[in-house]
């Protein structure tokens, strides 16, 4: 039997998806004009699906910091953090992130995915338990599986279901780690962190929150849902990525538990992965400084969010459960989602299309993620494109 035999069903599904939704799967950003514009299929379009929440991937000072690091330290570290891959920038960023989150310890990883993989695979092992929200990111699931802990899901954002399972599982007398996200990347809703933290304290569990999409977005100072909910002290581990608001590549875990430092020796994804490049680290450091000192960017992001949400709601579109910079437009029929996505692109707007089974509730949706860099005119253009697409759909 061929080694590829096990992929046959997946390959057949892929061929079907490419046949039906090929235009989406073959999108190439041929030229990047700005953090909110690119050229796709030879046409200039507005990017409304990039997770570039503060527009910092094209910020001049971030680019200059990255260029300076390239000139001074080269294109890569050529080694892991355990070997020759720890440069001064890595150490400085860890201290800066610790200060930002008001934590005593931070470890920087090569990617956000790698951070969750490294932390969860090391923290929870055989005989221990991880209770995770059913909508958690794949990196959280993969990290849990890699560690060998017993994995249990609770219904998305259902605090009663969480407590029901936690009460039963606590009878085992072992360590229990609860994993949630600050902003869930598909529907854009927040974890009910205040209630979850209270339950965590009640049963003596540990709590990890992935602030990947909420860093720089939520909280008076951009410190994510832990800040907005006022439960920073009750959260044991904060993980996240540099690839959203920080506009770079990398990941981290911050904690007040000094034992977290042991992950530098115990975590295979940390020990055996080349460390983040100097340019990525320098760009992330500058972006973090901007988040701290430029609250106007966060205000602009939320102004854009409220503006587009109001316009799309007025069109009668089915949106997500909360108003956040992640705005999903939901369709029961995947073909309708595809036709709308195609019309949007024809009208100069790119958004993400998310199809079952990747969607949390089995529906298809077009996922908009807004940026502080979007102008008022661009927000209007996005709304107008949806309006035109809806009108064209009604004619058929």
- DSSP strand pairing (326-331 vs 364-369): antiparallel
Question: Is 26 in contact with 345 (CB distance < 8 Å)?
Answer: no
Q: Match 């939704």 to its residue by tokens.
A: 21
Contacts of 119 (CB under 8 A, 6+ apart): 143, 208, 237, 239, 253, 263, 267
C-alpha distances in Å from residue 119, one per residue of 25, 154, 388: 32, 21, 46
Name the nearest CA neighbour of 243 among 206, 201, 212.
Answer: 212
Catalytic residues: 185, 213, 244
Q: How far is CA 12 from CA 6, 18, 239, 300, 396, in A?
A: 11, 10, 36, 44, 30
70, 64 Cβ separation under 8 angstroms: no
């Amino acid at each position: 039997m061929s080694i590829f035999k096990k992929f046959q069903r997946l390959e057949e599904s892929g061929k079907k998806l490419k046949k039906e939704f090929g235009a989406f799967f073959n999108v190439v950003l041929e030229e990047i004009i700005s953090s909110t514009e690119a050229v796709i299929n030879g046409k200039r379009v507005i990017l409304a699906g990039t997770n570039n929440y503060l527009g910092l991937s094209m910020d001049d000072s971030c680019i200059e910091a990255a260029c300076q690091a390239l000139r001074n330290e080269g294109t890569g570290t050529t080694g892991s953090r355990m070997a020759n891959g720890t440069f001064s920038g890595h150490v400085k960023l860890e201290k800066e992130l610790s200060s930002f989150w008001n934590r005593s310890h931070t470890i920087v990883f090569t990617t956000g995915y790698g951070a969750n993989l490294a932390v969860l695979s090391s923290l929870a092992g055989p005989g221990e338990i991880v209770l995770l929200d059913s909508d958690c990111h794949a990196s959280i699931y993969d990290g849990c599986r890699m560690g060998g802990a017993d994995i249990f899901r609770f219904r998305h954002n259902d605090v009663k279901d969480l407590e029901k399972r936690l009460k039963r599982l606590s009878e085992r007398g072992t360590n229990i780690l609860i994993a949630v996200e600050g902003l869930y990347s598909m529907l854009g809703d927040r974890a009910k962190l205040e209630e979850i933290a209270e339950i965590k304290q009640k049963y003596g569990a540990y709590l990890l929150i992935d602030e990947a999409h909420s860093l720089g977005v939520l909280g008076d100072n951009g410190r994510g849902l832990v800040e907005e909910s006022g439960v920073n002290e009750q959260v044991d581990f904060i993980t996240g990525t540099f690839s959203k608001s920080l506009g770079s590549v990398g990941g981290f875990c911050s904690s007040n538990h000094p034992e977290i430092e042991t992950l530098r020796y115990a975590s295979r994804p940390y020990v055996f992965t080349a460390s983040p490049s100097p340019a990525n680290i320098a760009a992330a450091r500058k972006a973090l400084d901007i988040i701290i000192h430029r609250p106007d960017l966060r205000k602009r992001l939320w102004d854009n969010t409220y503006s587009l949400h109001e316009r799309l709601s007025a069109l009668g579109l089915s949106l997500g459960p909360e108003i956040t910079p992640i705005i999903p437009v939901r369709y029961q029929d995947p073909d309708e989602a595809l036709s709308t996505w195609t019309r949007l692109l024809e009208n100069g707007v790119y958004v993400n299309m998310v199809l079952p089974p990747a969607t949390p509730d089995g529906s298809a949706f077009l996922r908009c993620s807004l940026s502080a860099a979007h102008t008022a005119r661009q927000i209007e253009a996005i709304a107008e494109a949806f309006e035109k697409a809806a009108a064209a759909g009604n004619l058929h």
